[in-house]
Amino acid sequence: MTSNTGGDLLLPGDPPPFEVVNPQGAARLVLFSDHAGRAIPKKLGTLGLRQAELDQHIGWDIGIADLARKLSAALDAPAVLAGYSRLVIDCNRRLDDPTSIAQESDKIPVPGNRGLTAEDRKARQEALFKPYHAAIAAVIARKRAQGPDPAVLSLHSFTPRMNDFARPWHVGVLWNRDPRLPVPLMARLMQEEGLVVGDNEPYSGKDEHGYSVIVHAEKQGLPHGLIEMRQDLIGDDAGVARWAETLVRVIRDVLAEERVYQPRA
């Protein structure tokens, strides 16, 4: 299921701002991925960037859309995927966050994001950010109405190296105040042979810099976590298939534990 209600920014032929995969999925789980897409509205050209730059991690979470689709199918869970590049507007940032529309990313200037008017920013918010988040809210509301309340997992990927540091983690789990899902998820991941699992690595969920998990899960009291996959591990079809198999096995085991859904003390 897709939607293309992009107002004045999106033109005919532009991709939709979001896609809902397996909307009727029966699992007690909702998946979403804020940086799954890398499209740019035709009106914005290439934001002044070369294609080689747009293909890098600054433009999207490499591999995560394919992984999300496989998880959605195997777990029978709905998944909401953002359709546009994080460089157009970052769907995992508050609208008042200075990095919502990045002036530069990983030291690469983004010319098309310089000198924007309030109207320019609002156009991106209305066309891309708000429809995506409305879609997540609708999927979760439908799940809650059907009962019982679902768990929520946000899916991201990270670069193998940052600032000359080779990141050793294969997968990280980001979380803040609610340990119900992330703690057993990390424990179960660590049972997989050879995995290096990061607890709030390579970023921390405790800095509250993100947006989506806070709004759609934490504030609603739903068990939740954010999975970060290293991009070199899911950069091709074989890697995606291998990691989807692992994560499906792990997530199924964790969600079978009733304690995950117990109200927080």
Q: Considering the chain, what is the average pLDDT of its residues?
A: 95
State which residues of the chain have pLDDT below 50: 3-6
d(CA 265, CA 251): 23
d(CA 203, CA 199): 9
pTM (predicted TM-score): 0.95
pLDDT, residue 136, reads 98
**How many CB atoms are located within 10 Å of the residue 172 CB?**
25
pLDDT, residue 8, reads 87
Length of the chain: 265
If you search the block for the tokens 């970023």, which residue do you land on?
A: 203
| Residue ranges of domains in the chain, CATH in brackets | 2-257 (3.40.630.40)
pLDDT, residue 1, reads 63
Burial class (CB in 10 A: 0-12, 13-18, 19+), 233: middle
Burial class (CB in 10 A: 0-12, 13-18, 19+), 202: middle
pLDDT, residue 7, reads 56
pLDDT, residue 6, reads 46
